Each structure stands twice: as structure tokens, then as C-alpha cells.
Amino acid sequence: MVRAFFIGRALASTVGEQLERTFTDALSSLGQFDAEQRETLRQFADEVIARAEHEEAEALQSRPTSPGPRPAPTTDTAPMDLQATIDTLRAEIAQVRASLQQYRASSDS
């Protein structure tokens, strides 16, 4: 009877330790996954912003420097004017930032 008590006690202790290790490992893996996802999202946002800045710089470099008359654009191939392009890019960046903030807020909960 005494031996069964000690075996039960040792079993409960061992199972508790094993559960604690498993739970700790699971939390560690979850934290690592969360950190990796945040880093991936941050890199994605940085890449989007860098690409937008690069395209903006190219657009600024390709615009004509002489203030001469410009031919009227046709309606089929009319490029968006520079300010409209910049506004569109800013709106897209704002959307990415809002999505990023939503993701961070949901992952912090």
C-alpha cells in the first residue's frame, strides 16, 4: 500500500513536469512563430515602401525639365499626372500601415 502511494506520487510529479515542459515548449514555439511573422510583415512593409520610393524617384527623374509646351495627351494613353500618382502611392502606404497596425493589435491580444 505504501509503495503504491509513492509510485502514484512519483507518477503525478513526473506527469506534471512533462506537461510543464510541453506547455513551455509550445509557448516558446508560439512566441517564435509570432516574432517571425512580425519580422516578415515588417520586411514586406519596408519592401513596399522602398519600391514606392524607388518608383517615385524614377517618375521624378523622367519628367521633363524644360518648361516648354507639352503635347496634349490622348484619352487612350493619358498617363496620370505626377500629383495623382503620389497621392495614390500615399494612399496605398496608408493602407499598408493600417493593416500592419491591425495585425500588431490583434497579435498583442
Per-residue pLDDT of the chain (109 residues; tens, 9 = 90+): 889 999 999 999 999 999 999 999 999 999 999 889 999 999 999 999 999 999 998 888 887 655 555 555 554 444 557 888 888 888 888 888 888 888 888 877 6
**Using alpha carbons only, what angle is made at residue 54 by residues 65 and 71, rounded to the nearest 5 degrees?**
30
Q: What's this model's pTM, rounded to 2 decimal places?
A: 0.43
Residue 82 backbone phi and psi in degrees, to 5 = -60, -45
The pLDDT score that the predictor gives to residue 77 is: 45
Beta-carbon contacts of residue 86 (< 8 Å; ≥ 6 apart)? 56
The pLDDT score that the predictor gives to residue 109 is: 64
Secondary structure of the chain: what % helix, strand, coil (to 5)?
Answer: 80, 0, 20
Domain coordinates in residue numbering, the chain: 2-59+81-108
Please give the grid coordinates belonging to residue 85.
500618382
Residues in the chain: 109
